[in-house]
Structure 1
Amino acid sequence: MRLLAVQLMTFCLVLSVWDFQETGTPPMAFMHESLGKWHSVVVPSDILESNASSANPHNRGVVVVIHQENFAAALSLVRELACLGADLPVELHHCGAPEFPPDLAVALKHPALAHARLVDACELATARGLPHPGLYSKAARAWLMPLAVLVSEFDHVMVLDAHALVLRDPTPMWTHPGYETTGSFFFRQRDLVPADLSKSRFTHLLRKYSDLYVRDRSILASSLGLSANFSAALNGSSQSLRLVDPAFFLMHKTRHGDRLPARLKQLLMHVRTDSAFDWRSSHSRRGGAQRVLVTPPDCVFFLFELLHQPTHLAALGASTLDAARDVQLHPTVFCGPVAQYLLGNASQDLLYVHGATLLDPQPKGFSEQHYSYMGYNDVPSYVTTPRPPQPIKQLPEFPTCDAGVQQFEPLSASFYMALARRRAHYHALALGTYHGLATCS
């Protein structure tokens, strides 16, 4: 007993002395994990920059918009990319202190997230002469995405939505023939309508662009007609002018010198004052009319056309996962998230799925869940088979679903493995217990 008492006194003395030290890692720091905290891991910035430049000669990187509402989704995406073998630096763009998640600085000290860094896009926007915007400061405002593209330090930018469930290493996309030829790669939206209903709206939008921009000398008002490449892309577009999937796209923003960044800056300077870009107009649940809308990713896509430069748009149309009991209740109507294939790949090689409903147990507030399928999608079972772009068929009772399902097949085992791992990382970050981040198994 006397020996035990001496040992306890010695242990307490060590702890009390350590508390007065200004530096060093506390003994038994691992116990902080169980309390939802993480001990500091400091890596000198010059070492990080040196390693990044030597390992990334083409200046390629991933851009993710982060805010208080998607904090866990964004960081779990960073971790998932590393688990898939995508050895790329990641920029996490936010807009000022109000959109800075309080736990973010703590989480980023985890060694598993060491290749990610925070970027205050709005601070950089102010430095570049863009007005400090209410346009970007709200979590629901997707215009922060094109701003992030503009201020990013990367030349080759891979833009990913925080809720994208990436199923395989996207790094080979950099060497895809479509990207190498055009400096861009976009996936199609699912919500398509016949081309005869879309072309006039796109032409109108491009005319408005011509009024907004300080154009290059090579771009004349008389030559603003749609290119053959862009016209081919108009085989389908949505009623809200959404053509490209906002969850994932690539662009080489310096491929044409500073022309593309300059036009993007002009767009961001004028978008607040032009109602044509008010893409978040209210929708009527009773089938009422809606204003002409355009999404920020589509604006980035249109920039290439304005510069008379080709873009690469995926040859396949978007696919859809099922929601709970879709197959039992209405097998031709799928209400799950959008999924994307690459042409020539088997169905088990889906590239990504875009859906907060797969990760967040409450993706929408109950007051916003107008339909039951807007809730948590616990275990999807099927995905529609790859198909060419085609107009979407919708039914009044399922207004946001794909009602034209003809063929579907079971999801592969690899999908469920990826989903389980992503959910584990997501919930670890959401709860502040980072035990599982160090492993990809």
Structure 2
Amino acid sequence: MLMSSRHATERYLARTRVMPLLGTCIMCLFVVYICMISTSAVAMKDGKDVYESISKDQWLVQIQRHHDFSSIRRGILVCVFDAMIPMAASLVLELRALGNTDLIQMYHCNGELSAASHRILYMLDARLEIVDVCKDFVASGRLPAAKANDFRSFWLKPLALVHTRLAEVILLDADDLMFHDPSQLWQTPGYKETGTVFFYDREVAKAEYLNNWSVHRFQRMLNLHVLVDTFEYAQFHLMKRPSKYLERTLAWNKHSAHEQDSSIVVVNKGATSSVAMDVLYHLVMHTRYTLDFSYGDKELFWLAFELAQVPYSFSPWANTAAASPGNMEKHPDTICGGLAQWMPLAEAKSVLLHINGGYDAYY
């Protein structure tokens, strides 16, 4: 009993000595926990600002410092915004899987890409550059700040082509699904001859865009005719001189509202007259506000060269299309889906270059 009582007393005495210490530890842990919750709440509240600050001040600057692409003269240009990053990332992986090693420029407008999107893209590929063209143009005085957000759309592509320092450029849409390395387009006869490769859009016999009607000089005229008739040629030291090619197009002859598909546009800015880029800038900055001649950017590229009287070339092939299997139940005799293009070579009658329209590469 004495032994038992002594052990019980010792255990009790030990417990009385430990309890205050344990209580103190618990209190300390509770204080730390409260601090952590408070810190987390602040992080949740200001996390975006903190993340952007870290991004701009640390790792983005380090990446830009160690990757100098200023000497590169050719590459691929893709216009993006946050919601398109998954597709743009997929496109980058497609291009690399096809063997393409060219610089890829990701263009956006007026802070349209978040810090998270920057990080995803920079971690994805080492030969990639991100450019905010709207901020650059506003800073240089070439774009009024009030107009900047007008280019958060497909109108960004012409502006990006004018802006890029690259001489040889392949413009791709972020939702292009590529089947061949697009750098092969730099070796095509049309590109070597004119410094351009353009592709045809669907033939749409509707009274809209190029094929719509406007009143000009008290006459009812097609929008395409009005554009050619009213363009400010003197501003570029030119005279009105429509090409024979223009006069043979479907749009000129009232057969289609569209002529060019701009999901792939290939231009050698270094080998063609700079007047074409000046005209392109004029069309996207001014003309498109006064004449509804184009569904988005698509017609601006070939028309810039046409109005500037600079030679250009289209693919020898019409476009094609791709549809999901389920669509065939609705219209078994037609294909209605994403626009597709063939490789623009006379001998390549069945070489599919790409499909445009947001298809999953792993569907």
Counterpart-to-counterpart distance in 1, 2:235 and 2:103: 33
Counterpart-to-counterpart distance in 2, 1:240 and 1:70: 30
Q: CA deviation at 1:294?
A: 4.3
Q: Is the 8 A contact 1:202 1:241 kept in 2?
A: no
Q: Is the 8 A contact 1:337 1:355 kept in 2?
A: yes
Counterpart-to-counterpart distance in 1, 2:300 and 2:130: 25
* Aligned partner of residue 62 in structure 1, secondary structure: strand
* Aligned partner of residue 226 in structure 1, secondary structure: coil
| Aligned position for 1:177 | 189
| Aligned partner letter, 2:357 | G
Q: Is the 8 A contact 1:183 1:311 kept in 2?
A: yes
Counterpart-to-counterpart distance in 1, 2:257 and 2:275: 24
* Aligned partner of residue 49 in structure 1, secondary structure: coil
Label 1:264 to 1:336 Cα distance change in 2 as closer, same or farther (>3 A): closer
Label 1:320 to 1:73 Cα distance change in 2 as closer, same or farther (>3 A): same
1:48-67 residue pairs with structure 2 within 5 A? 48-49=67-68, 53=71, 56=72, 59-67=73-81
* Aligned partner of residue 280 in structure 2, secondary structure: helix
Q: Is the 8 A contact 1:96 1:123 kept in 2?
A: yes
| 2:90 counterpart of 1:71 | no
1:198-277 residue pairs with structure 2 within 5 A? 198=211, 200-208=222-230, 210-211=231-232, 215-217=235-237, 219-220=238-239, 224-234=240-250, 241-271=257-287, 273-274=289-290, 276-277=291-292
Q: CA deviation at 1:205?
A: 1.8
Q: Is the 8 A contact 1:229 1:310 kept in 2?
A: no
Q: Is the 8 A contact 2:322 2:340 kept in 1?
A: yes
| Aligned partner letter, 1:82 | R
Counterpart-to-counterpart distance in 2, 1:41 and 1:133: 28
TM-score, normalising length: structure 1: 0.59
Counterpart-to-counterpart distance in 2, 1:190 and 1:237: 15
| 2:122 counterpart of 1:104 | no
* Aligned partner of residue 82 in structure 2, secondary structure: coil
Counterpart-to-counterpart distance in 2, 1:237 and 1:154: 36
Counterpart-to-counterpart distance in 1, 2:194 and 2:170: 15
* Aligned partner of residue 215 in structure 1, secondary structure: helix
* Aligned partner of residue 297 in structure 1, secondary structure: coil
| Aligned position for 1:297 | 298
Label 1:295 to 1:237 Cα distance change in 2 as closer, same or farther (>3 A): farther
Counterpart-to-counterpart distance in 2, 1:327 and 1:157: 37
1:84-103 residue pairs with structure 2 within 5 A? 84-97=98-111, 99-103=112-116
Q: CA deviation at 1:330?
A: 2.9
Q: CA deviation at 1:242?
A: 2.3
Counterpart-to-counterpart distance in 1, 2:61 and 2:172: 27
| Aligned partner letter, 1:87 | T
Aligned partner (choices 142, 147, 150) of residue 159 of structure 2: 147
Q: 1:301-360: CA deviations, max 9, x gaps?
A: 10111121221111211111123334444321222211111243253x31000012x23x
Structure showing the higher helix proportion among its residues? 2
Q: Is the 8 A contact 2:75 2:105 kept in 1?
A: yes
Label 1:83 to 1:128 Cα distance change in 2 as closer, same or farther (>3 A): farther
| 2:331 counterpart of 1:330 | yes
Label 1:67 to 1:117 Cα distance change in 2 as closer, same or farther (>3 A): same
| Aligned partner letter, 2:266 | L
Counterpart-to-counterpart distance in 1, 2:341 and 2:288: 32
Q: Is the 8 A contact 1:244 1:298 kept in 2?
A: yes
Aligned partner (choices 129, 139, 147) of residue 142 of structure 2: 129
Label 1:84 to 1:308 Cα distance change in 2 as closer, same or farther (>3 A): same
CA RMSD of aligned residues (A): 3.1
Counterpart-to-counterpart distance in 2, 1:238 and 1:188: 16
Q: CA deviation at 1:158?
A: 0.6
Deviates more, 1:299-308 or 1:252-261: 252-261
Q: CA deviation at 1:230?
A: 2.3
Q: 1:57-87: CA deviations, max 9, x gaps?
A: xx11111111022111112212211111111
Q: CA deviation at 1:148?
A: 0.6
| Aligned partner letter, 2:348 | N
* Aligned partner of residue 76 in structure 2, secondary structure: strand
Counterpart-to-counterpart distance in 2, 1:205 and 1:157: 26
Q: CA deviation at 1:268?
A: 3.2
| Aligned position for 1:405 | none
Counterpart-to-counterpart distance in 1, 2:317 and 2:236: 33
Q: CA deviation at 1:123?
A: 1.1
| Aligned partner letter, 1:69 | A
Counterpart-to-counterpart distance in 2, 1:70 and 1:136: 17
* Aligned partner of residue 333 in structure 1, secondary structure: coil
Q: 1:351-374: CA deviations, max 9, x gaps?
A: 000012x23xxxxxxxxxxxxxxx
| Aligned position for 2:199 | 187
| Aligned partner letter, 1:203 | H
TM-score, normalising length: structure 2: 0.71
Counterpart-to-counterpart distance in 2, 1:174 and 1:71: 27
Label 1:49 to 1:182 Cα distance change in 2 as closer, same or farther (>3 A): same
Q: CA deviation at 1:152?
A: 0.7
Counterpart-to-counterpart distance in 1, 2:325 and 2:180: 25
